[in-house]
Amino acid sequence: MLSIFRRKIKAAYKWRSWHAYVLLVVVIVTVYAQSLFFDYSYLDDQQLIIEHADILERANPGEIFLNDVFFSSSKYYYRPLLTWSFVLDWHWGNTSVFAFHFSNLIFHIIAVCLLFYLLRMIGIKEKMALILSLIFSIHPALSQAVAWIPGRNDVMVSVLVFSTLIFWSRWLRREKLFDLIFLWLFFAASLLTKETAALLPLFALVWIFVFERHNFTWLKFIYAASGAATIFFIWVLLRVTALGGLETGTVWQSFGHNILSPLIFLGKAILPVNLSVYPVLADSVWLFGVISFGGLMLLLYYSRPLRWKRLLFGFAWFWLFLVLGSIRPDNDLFRNFMEHRLYLPIFGVLIILAETENFWKKRSLSFRYYFLAAIFITFIVINLVHTRSFQNRLSFWHQAVASSPHSPLAQRNLGAMYYLDGDLNLAEMRFRQALQLNPQEVMAHNNLAAIYIDRGDLWRGEIELKKELEINPNYDIALFNLGRIYYLREQYQEAMVLWQRALKVNPYNKEVEFYLQELSNKLKTENFHLNK
């Protein structure tokens, strides 16, 4: 009966290639529509947008291109195009958070459509390319990249990387100047969006031997490589100018720590059942990764014969992009496995899955339909439920603590959310729990001090702030708060020294600037009256 119904539909409806794009857009909008009405999560987004509203308002090119993305003293992330995307949303959306979530959704739609086009371009059949693109579009482990505003960084770089590869193939196939120019433009834009794009020249070289061997000539390669090398050199100069030198020792240490981390991400790519808005090593399940790897190997075994070049390319893409994307400038205590980083690397897994077509051909048509229906329904349900964790700051940090109870940062930030809501007792409990997990947890002592200042207990507040400054001597907010205590005690000179230090550490701290100006005026007035 079902087969008769299917044949009738097939006879009445003629499939067009562009229908695939319509289907992808409809599915994405249906699944992610709820994210349009989400608020800020208060993980990076409040710093990138709310605290830097004046920077977004000014939209000064020099200021944006010559600073790290956080405009902080500890400079590491050079991502000016991410900041420019926030600038555009800030202005067209009239400061509304809706604009930022709307753009995230649009970026995801563009990325999925480009992915489908790219999969078709490298010879994957339309049905398989559409299935893989649909999986990518609704994958629960990728929901953070769409529902969490700063997650757009990985979506944006994926859009630019996919575009670069498309024009790379077009240049090799057609040798038209138009394709070469856009190849260079998209490569430059990808570097200015996220540092992981630095791997692109390596994979573009391998791309030739895997997908475009018959279209390769040395002349085409030299033309493209000369422009790409120039762009890469200019990017390095810009990055060094904006950020200064890089502590390579810490970076290499982080690289070593993350060499096996893709196994955790593989578990989430194949079995997305242990998702977290802030996953950490102590609460990550390696077993899912091992099971997923074993299952994938078994699936490939029964899919022989295999195109080994494509398989090796897929594994290398997945592994290297994740390892490089997980490198941090700080120590191992802050290591996390944020799921938005899976967005670009999972392209490698999709290439591997495309090689399992022989296995599925041996299965009956009804089995394939039921299996795919089960996968899609399961992924959509998990996605819809997990995406709600990004709804607001409390839902976000509640889920972070529930899924990563050993994370001191999650405990600390949930305490900060309670503090913002005026629940000082619950906030104090979370801050103390964070310090119990990590006695060196930055900001925790400062946050305890803020509670004591609000309660009028300046003595205990001073003790906590001095502890904070021992751990984190260049924390501008702790310097400001200690200055507040001295100000309340009328120790004005001590307060001024601390506030001047805070402003030197963070010239963008408008609150410190305001209080420092008020104190200067106050001291001038008092001196005037004394002299009079």
Q: Which domains does the chain have, with CATH numbers?
A: 23-246 (no CATH), 249-362 (no CATH), 394-531 (1.25.40.10)
Structure tokens at 303: 């899919």
Residue 133: predicted pLDDT: 98
Q: Where are the beta strands (DSSP E) in 110-244?
A: none
Q: Nearest 5 degrees, angle CA 171-CA 176-CA 182?
A: 65
**The dihedral formed by the CA atoms of 122, 123, 127 and 130, expressed in degrees to the nearest 10:** 10
Residue 256: predicted pLDDT: 66
Contacts 24+ apart (CB under 8 A), 183-187: 183/224, 183/227, 183/228, 184/224, 184/227, 184/228, 184/231, 186/160, 186/161, 187/160, 187/228, 187/231
Ranges of the chain with pLDDT below 50: 332, 528, 530
Q: Give the closest residue to 18 by CA, choosing from 111, 116, 103, 134.
A: 116
CB 344 within 8 A of CB 379: no
Residue 81: predicted pLDDT: 97
Count the Cβ atoms, other than its own, within 10 Å of residue 374.
10
β-strand partners of 280? 336
Residue 449: predicted pLDDT: 96
Structure tokens at 174: 């057609």
Residue 30: predicted pLDDT: 97
